[in-house]
Each structure stands twice: as structure tokens, then as C-alpha cells.
Amino acid sequence: MRLKRVRIFGFKTFAEKTEFSLDGGIVAVVGPNGCGKSNLVDAILWGLGEGSIKHLRASSSQDVIFSGSQNRKPVGYAEVSLCFDNEDGTLPIEASEVWITRRLTRGGDSDYSINRQSCRLKDILELLADSGLGRAGYAIVGQKEIDQALAASAEDRRAWIDEAAGVQRYRARKVESLRRLAAARDSLSRVDDIINELESQREPLREEAEVAVRFKQLDAALREVEVGLLIRDLCGAVHELQTLEEKIAQSGQLVERERVNSARLEQETEESNERIRALDSQVERTRTLHQDQMTLQERAEANVKITEEKISSLIAQEKNLKEDEKTVSNRLGEAAKDAESAIAEVSAEIEALEKIQLESAGASSESKELSDRLKQAEKDLQEAREKKGLRMKWEAEREAQEGRARLLNREISGIEKALPQLGKDIEAARKDFEVANAAMQEHDAALGRLQTTVDQIKKDEDRESAKMRDSLAERASLDGRRRGIEATLDAHEGLSQGSRAVLEARDRGLIRGDFESVADAIDVDKEYSLAIETALGASANDLIVDTDQDAKHAVNWLKENRAGRCTFQPISLMRRNDPSPELRRVLDERGVINRASDLVRCERRVEPVIESLLGRIVIVETIDDALKLAKTSGWSRMVTLEGEVVHSSGAVTGGQTQRQSYGIVQRRADLAEIEREIAEIDKLLAGADQRKQKRAKEIAECEALMADHREQRQVAKEPADEAEHLLKALEDELRDAERQLHKAKHEIEQIEKGAQAGIDDVDITAFELVRDECLKAVASKSADVEQAEVRLREAQERVRQAQIRQYASEKRLESAKEAEHHRERRLENLGPERDRLRKHVEELRAEAETHAKEKQTLMVSLTALTKERRELGEHVMKIQEELKQARANVMALSESNHQNELSRARAETKRATLAERLMDAYGLSETDALAQENMYEVPADAQTVVGRLRREIKAMGDVNTGAIEAFERLTERLESLSLQRDDIMKGIEQVEASIAELDKLTRDKFVSTFEAVGAEFSVMFTLLFGGGTASIELTDPAKVLESGVEIVVQLPGKKRQPLQLLSGGERSLCASAFLFALLKVKPAPLVVLDEVDAPLDGRNVERFAQTLEQFSELIQFVVITHNPTTIEIAPNLFGVTMQEAGVSTLIPMKLPESKAVIVHEADAPVA
């Protein structure tokens, strides 16, 4: 195993990613002080899992992250990755290459990974535990560790021997075992305490359980007899109710069938309305498309007119060019004639000149010399005249070009004068188009907004229609419930037999007096109705009368007619009592709502009766509040909102039957709630009708505005189209003018360039003077020669004038030819342009015809859609008539079913009363009771048996029925704790055996390693010091596992002396001997030495280096050093420097044997 590669980023001064590879043997790291060499050691130490900030030369964990420099910002994290070659399997992991990575962010988050798999720091430490690279190992040694190895206590020095012996793992396991042993003994102590406590509770609880068993036997017997009586009566009531429910079910099926039919018709109406809305939308889209096609057709027709106008303009231009043909041809003929005449004249003059020259040549020999001179002068004069002629020809040509330039300048001037006006026209046309287009866009935007408004209104209408249908259905349901409750109340359902008999007798006039049941005399909010009903109990059946005499007469009537029993509440005997101070204190308690009498509304005259019945009953929120109040205040009676009752005796009544029964108070509260809901629905329906009318009005207004905007848009569209066409035509004209202007300016530039490249003028006067002198000389000799010369000059002058006229004629001819060529070229271009425009006219006409056909098609589709919409509207009206009839049928059938409901309500009241008694008294639900119909045999003397059983139960007094279950739980708990105690005892024995085994392994390994290290230390000490003796000793041989390790040395030629008296070099060399002894016994795969050789002198350094070189065959060394002797033995060399202030850089030193290579870019996987 060896360290192959190190990768560092953001650790201390290594700001940039630094990666370097290491070969085996010795790797020396050199560099100036303060450049970061030791930071490299800290990086390796940190990557191996070092957790001590002190060992990393830092004050906090954040100090290891690069904090920035003058030119660099701080980095966000520090990361170190170490790659180990594991081909020999030293590390207990199935991988030939192991990457260990540690990362720390500025937020304090630490990440660890092994081969790119996230792990814990503990996993890394366990992986390296037996490799010699553990925390307590000797793999990384600096001057501080050298001093600590000698100056540390004997116990601390023992850690290096433990690491060499490989017992650190056993020590850690022993510490964990001791912790588990202490925890097990604590658990055993707690279990023993609990068992003793439970044993003391067992016997008293057993006696209570036996009493409870007898009580349950008696209670079960009593329950069986009483339940049998109630079940017999309940079964009879249920059989009667089933018969009534079958009738209601048959009637309900008819109602449901009619409702399904109504729903089907409503659905069909809704679908038809949806189709109508879709058709309206489609009609609108078709109408818009029709309008768009009309607009496109008009635009195409307007484009046809504009193009035809352009064609007419081209035809007119062609006509003018053809009319100019004759004029141009005449000019061309005249120019050709003039040119021919000029050429003939020049030829004649030249012939005359040649003849005169021949005559002059025949002069006498006496003037030969003068004649030769004259010839030379004539020759020079002739050349000058030829140059003069060329100059005159150039001037004539320039004059013609200047004339052309003047024409072009006039053309340019005309175009430039026209351009501003044309620009103004274009700008005016553009503004007109923008104004008209803006008006169209405003109308389009307004149409869009109005259409959105209409769509939203229709959506609101659809939603509200659905809500109204639901509301109507809900109102019908509520109305049916209201009629059912009113009928039940009118029939006095729920009152006792006697109360009902008295009220019926009053209605028939058989009894005098004003009788009213307590339940009918009060009004209660829905949320309090159950609580008030429960609080009143049977008193809800009591009848309120004005006087005691009325009550007496009613009692006598009941006796005479054997009509039942009834309780009366005479108002004349009642007295109003104010709440007591104790009651006021109770009302202030948390959870108390109010007195029951304060939660009802009644006439003032009956208030004394209500006060006497409900004045001392308190309504609370929950049963917990009632129980708490019963304990603290001892108030007489409390009722919760859910109907539970806590009595003054402490008894608690509560629960619920499977079919909840309703008393008169709750029915009246339900009736008031239903009437309120019906009133709200009626109010909602009235508001909906008003909103529907308002929406219809809004839709009509929006559609009127939309029609107005469409009309105005069409009005605005015509000038917009005209402005757009005019704008395009003016822009085309502007582009043509600009092209002509550019072309003219270019031609003028060419003319000006030709003018600049002119021919220099020649002054022929000097030549003429020379010639005249020659002539005078010849004239003095010969009058004939003079006369000939005169004729010769005249002839030459005529030739020159003729040549000038010839050149001017030729230029006029060229100009006439150019004009003819320009006219012919223009004629050639006009034809294709005219054909193209005619073809475009045909295309536009075809486009207009296509739009016309499409417009016609859309009109046909629009007519069909309008017809379909009208027919669908008629169909909807027909469906609505059918729906009206269906709803009438539902109402009629519902009324019939209502009568059946009344009958069932009376039967249900009877059943509910029996079921409630079963539930309240025995907690037996109706379903369970009916299932047990045949399980109970009711004896003939059932009432006698019930009395006897109740007396026996009463004689037993208070019985703790929970003692049975408590005794069973306690017994089970004791058995469980006993088993748990046995398990703990076994666990303690196993842990103690494990600790003994660990102690034996640790002792054996430590003793053998201690002896081996001692022997090797003696050898290495003698080798490094060149003599002397050294040994290691245990401070307490009797306690091998706890004993410290002392180092005893005797230097060559000196007495034995304490380690503290050794010099720095001697201490360093002694510690090196101890380190090499450890490495000899237990080699580490990697050893990092940080300036360990610094205190050594020359000879000692040589011995140290030789020893280091010998060990490097088996161990990989990374040495931080300044010593040349140590550097010489290192085949691999790295330099650390700070090329930038505050930033360390690692540089490979390419020595002949070195194979280390610095890597700045990652080329290996990151762990």
C-alpha cells in the first residue's frame, strides 16, 4: 500500500486546485519558510481524518479554508483527496485503488467519501485503523511530535506502542463494552426496583378483583333480564316501521323517476343552450370572416386600379418615346452628314496643304540650308499644332460633357427640389394611415373588450343558473322537511300520552284553560338545541298552565278518562329566583357557556317556569369541562353541547344510538333553521332574477355598442386603405427618384474625373516665331519661297479649322447615337414592366374573385347557421314546456310522499324512544339489540328478579370494576420484568467475558510488540548515535494494560541522564531512533516527516539520511526539509513557493530519477 496521488483545493494557502502524483521511496518537499510546506503536511493529516484543530495549527475549523489574499477572494470550501494503491489489500476494502476525500464548507458542512461513496468520519478512521495511518499513529511526525515523544508522559507515550501493536481497535471495543456493561447494570437496578414495588401492590389488588368479579356476575344477570324486556318491545316497533318504510320506498321510486326525467330535460335544455351559445359564437366568427373577405376583396380591387394606372403611365411613356424617335433620327442624320462633310473638307485641305508643300520643296538650292531650317521649324510647328488640335478636341469634348453635366445638374436639382415635397407627402400619407389605422385598432380593442364582457356575463349567467337550479332543488327539499316537521309538531308527536291527550281535549273544547308544552313554549338556537333537550329531559313533555286550578281540572279529566299521566307547571305557583353567588362563580369558569335558562327565548309570562326547570343547569362545551367543573365546584348538574350529562351524584350519562332521535325542542330548532334557510334562498332567488335582468340589459347594451363599433370601424377602414395605397405608391415614387438621383450624381462624378485628366495647352507662338524667322530669311533669298510659305500657312490654318469642325461633328454624332441608344433601351424596359404589371393585375383580379367566392361561401354558411340557431331555439322552448310539466309532477308526487313520511315519523318516534332507553341504560345499540332478539328468554316474574338483583348489587357498595384488569396487567408486567431481568443478567455475563477476552488479546499483542520495539530501539539508537545504549521500560510491569512507557538512554561516553537534559539534536535523533524502531516492528505505508532533521548536525544528518534511505525500500516517506544531505537521497523532489502573495504553488523538480509529475487538471476520479 502506498499514497499515489494527492489533490488539494482551498486548503489554507492552496487556493487553486493542486494535484500531484507520488512514486514509492522518498519524496522531498523544499521551499522557503512561510511558503506553505507545512500546510501540505496539514492537508494530508486533515484528509486522513484528523479532528484536532490544535494539531492542524488552527484556531477554528474555518481556518483551514483559504481566506483570501490581496488579489484573491476567499473560496467557499476546502477539499483534500488522497489516493492509495491497495493492490496488496492492506485496506479492508475490495478495490485496488482507494480515494479518501474530505470536504468542509464555510457554512460548517462536512462531507466524507470513500471511492465517491458518501460515508462518516468514523468509517474513514475504521478503514485506516490497522494500517498505521490511524489518529494515534506515528505516520505524520514533526518537530512538535518529536518533542512530545520524549517530553510526554509515560502513559501518552504508550499510545505509539499501542498503534504499532494494533490494539487501538481492541481498546475502542473495550470502551464500548464497558459503556454497555454500565448501562446494563443500571437497567438491572431499575428493573429490581420496579419488581419490588409491583410485588407490594399485588395482594390488595387481588382482593378488589375478586369483589369486582362477583359484581360483574350480578350486573350481567340484571342486564340480561332488563335487556330482554326492552328488546322484545323494540322488535315489535321495528317490524311496524319496516312496513311503513316499504310503502315510502315505493312512493319514493315514483318521485325519483319523475326527478330523473326532470333532470334529463334540464340537461337537454342546458345542452341545447350550450349549443345555442356555440352557434352564436360561430355566427359571430363567420360574420367576422365574411367582413374580412369583403375587406380583402376591396383591397385587391383597389390594387387593380392602382396597377392599371401604372400601366397607363407606362403606355404614355412608351408613346412619348416613340414620338421622340423621329426627332432623334433627324438629329442623328444631320450629325452624320455634318461629320461626313467635315471629313471631306479636312481631306481636301490636307491635299491642298500637301500640294503647297510640294511647291515649296521646289525652291532653289541657294536657300537649301534655310529650307532645311524651315522644314525643321515647320515640323516643330506641326507637332505643336497637333497638340493644340488635341487640346482643342479635348476642349470640345469637355464642352459637350459640360453640357451633359448641366443637363444632369438640372435633373438633379429638379429631383432634389421634388424630394422634400415627396417626403412631406409620404409623411402626410403615413400620418393619415396611422390615424385611420389607430381608429380601426381602437374599434377593434373596444370590440374585443365588449366581447370579453359579453362572454364573462354569459359565463356568470351559466354559473348562476346552475346555482339557482341547485337552490331550487334545495328549497324543495327544505320545504318538504319543513312540512314534515310542522305536521309532526301539529300532531304533538314526541309528547307523552297524557300530555297529548290533554292538548287534544283542549282543541276539542273538553277542557278549559290555556295549555302549552314546555318544548313548544321556548325557542332555542340550533347549536344549543341538543343540550337544552337533554337538560329538560322528560320535563319537555310538561304542560304549562296559568293557574293551579287549571292543572287540577286537567288531572281530574285524565283520571276520569284513564288517558294517561302528565306533569303540569302552573305559572301562579312559580317564583323567580336570581342566580346565587356560587352559580355566578361557576359561570365564570373556563368552558362554561351559560345557564340553560339564559340560552332559551320565551314569553315573559312563562319565564318563571323555565327558570325553575333550567335555572340551575349549566351548559358547558365538552365533557372534560363538565368533569373538571364537577371536581372543583360540585355544581348540581351540567350538560354538554353534545348531550352528555354530569349529575350531582357524580354519575355521567352520554353516548349515541345508531339512529339519532330528535325531541320536540330539536325539531322546533330545526324548523326555525329551515325557515331561515328558505328565507335566504328566496332572497337569493329574488336577487338572481334581478341580476339576470340586469345581465340581459348589459348584454343588449354591449351588443348595441359592438354594432356601433363595427359600423364605425368599417367607416374608418376605407380611408385607412386609401391612405395605405397612397403611402405605398409615394414610397415607390420616392425610391425611383432616389435611384435616378444616385445615377445622375454618379455620371457627373465620372465627367468631373474626365475633366481633371485633361491635356495641357500648347503655346504655338514661339514655334511660329522660329518659323517666321526662317521664312524671312528664305524670303530675303527668294520671294517665291515666301509666297509659298504664306500659302502653306493659310492651308495649314484651314486644315486645323476643318479638323476642329470634324471633331465637333463627330461628338454631336456620338451624342445623338447615345440619345437613340437610351431611348431604345428605355423602350425595351417598358415592355417587360408593362407585361409584369398586367400579369399582376390578373393576379389581383383572381385574388379579388377568390375573396368574392369565399365571401359568398361564408354568406351561405352564415345563413345556414342562423337557421339552425332559430330551429334550436324553438326546440328549447318545447323542452322547457315539458320540463315545466315534469316539475309539476314531482311536486304532486312529493306531496303524496310527504303524507307517508308523517306516518313513518310517528313510528320512528316510538322506535327511537325504545332504542334510546337501551343505549342510555345499557350501551346496547339498536343493531345489536335486534340481532339478539332470540337470545333472551324473559321469565314470567321478570320484575321480581330485577328487584332482587338490584338489592344485592346495592348492598355491595362501591366496587372498583377496574381492579380485575389492573390485577391482570400487574401480573403480566411482573412476568415480563422477570424475563427482562434474566436477559439483562445474561447480557452482563456475555459483556464481561468479552472484556476479558479483549484484555487478553491486548496484553499479548502489547507485550510482544513492546519487546520487539525495545530490541529494535536499542539497535537503532546505537546505529544513529554511533554507540551508547537505550531501552524502553514499563512504569508498572504488574499492570501491563495500564502501565506507561519510559525511555532510558545513555549517550556514548556519557552517563545515563534524563531525556529533558538532552540537547535539541540529541532529542531529535533519539526520537528518530524510537520512530525507526516502531517502523521496523510495524511498518506504516506512509510516513510524513516535517523538518525532523532540522536540529541535527552534519554527521548525525548523514546517519539519519542513510537510515531513512534503507527504510524507503519498504516505506513511502514524504520529507519536509531544508537539509541538502536529506534532499540528495530523495529521488522525487517538489518545491513549494508563493509566486503570488498568500497563495502556495507546488512545483515538481525534474531530477533524473524522479517520476513525480505535477497535475493541474483533474485526470482521475474524485472520491
Q: How far apart are CA 285 and CA 293, in angstroms?
A: 12
**Residue 784: predicted pLDDT:** 62
Does position 173 have pLDDT exceeding 80, yes or no?
Answer: no
Does position 383 have pLDDT exceeding 50, yes or no?
Answer: yes
Highest-confidence segment of 69-73, 486-490, 506-510: 69-73
**Residue 113: predicted pLDDT:** 95
Domain ranges for the chain, please list them. Answer: 1-136+1132-1167, 495-662
Give the residue from 902, 880, 882, 889 showing the smallest Cα distance to 254: 889
pLDDT-wise least confident of 186-195, 304-313, 528-537: 304-313
Highest-confidence segment of 92-101, 511-520, 754-763, 957-966: 92-101
**Residue 1162: predicted pLDDT:** 32
591 backbone φψ class: left, alpha, beta (φ>0; ψ -120 to 50): left
**Residue 1164: predicted pLDDT:** 33
pLDDT in tens, 618-664: 899 988 888 888 777 666 688 998 888 887 667 788 877 555 556 77
Q: How far apart are CA 37 and CA 41, in angstroms?
A: 7
pLDDT in tens, 1097-1134: 878 888 888 888 888 888 888 888 888 888 888 888 88
Neighbours of 414 (CB within 10 A): 14
**How far, in Å, are 41, 52, 62, 141, 350 from residue 59 at the CA level?**
17, 10, 8, 20, 119
Residue type, 158: R
Query: Looking at residues 710-722, what average pLDDT do you find?
Result: 72
Query: Looking at residues 484-491, what average pLDDT do you find?
Result: 72
Grid cell locating 777: 530669311
CB 821 within 8 A of CB 351: no
**Residue 360: predicted pLDDT:** 63
pLDDT in tens, 930-943: 777 777 777 777 77
pLDDT in tens, 213-264: 888 888 777 777 777 777 777 787 778 777 777 777 777 777 777 778 777 7
Query: Looking at residues 1021-1039, what average pLDDT do you find?
Result: 83
Give the pLDDT band (50/70/90) at residue 951: confident
Q: What percent of the chain has pLDDT over 90?
A: 4
Does position 1160 have pLDDT exceeding 50, yes or no?
Answer: no
Residue whose C-alpha cell is 319543513? 482
Highest-confidence segment of 419-433, 673-687, 882-896: 673-687
Q: How far apart are CA 576 and CA 578, in angstroms?
A: 7
What integer best gives the mean pLDDT of the chain?
77
pLDDT in tens, 892-916: 777 676 676 767 776 777 677 777 7
Give the residue from 556, 551, 628 showing the smallest Cα distance to 591: 628
Q: What pTM did the predictor assign?
A: 0.37
Whole-angstrom distance between the N-terminal and C-terminal Cα of the chain? Answer: 18
Does position 1152 have pLDDT exceeding 60, yes or no?
Answer: no
Q: What is the CATH code of the structural domain delimited by 1-136+1132-1167?
A: 3.40.50.300
CB 1024 within 8 A of CB 1069: yes
pLDDT in tens, 593-630: 988 888 999 998 888 888 888 888 889 998 888 888 87
Q: What is the DSSP letter of 761?
A: P
pLDDT-wise least confident of 526-535, 733-742, 770-779: 770-779
CB 339 within 8 A of CB 816: no
**Residue 441: predicted pLDDT:** 82
Give the pLDDT band (50/70/90) at residue 1153: very low
Query: Looking at residues 402-411, what average pLDDT do you find?
Result: 62
Fold (CATH) for 495-662 = Alpha-Beta Plaits (3.30.70)
1140 backbone φψ class: left, alpha, beta (φ>0; ψ -120 to 50): beta
**Residue 1151: predicted pLDDT:** 54
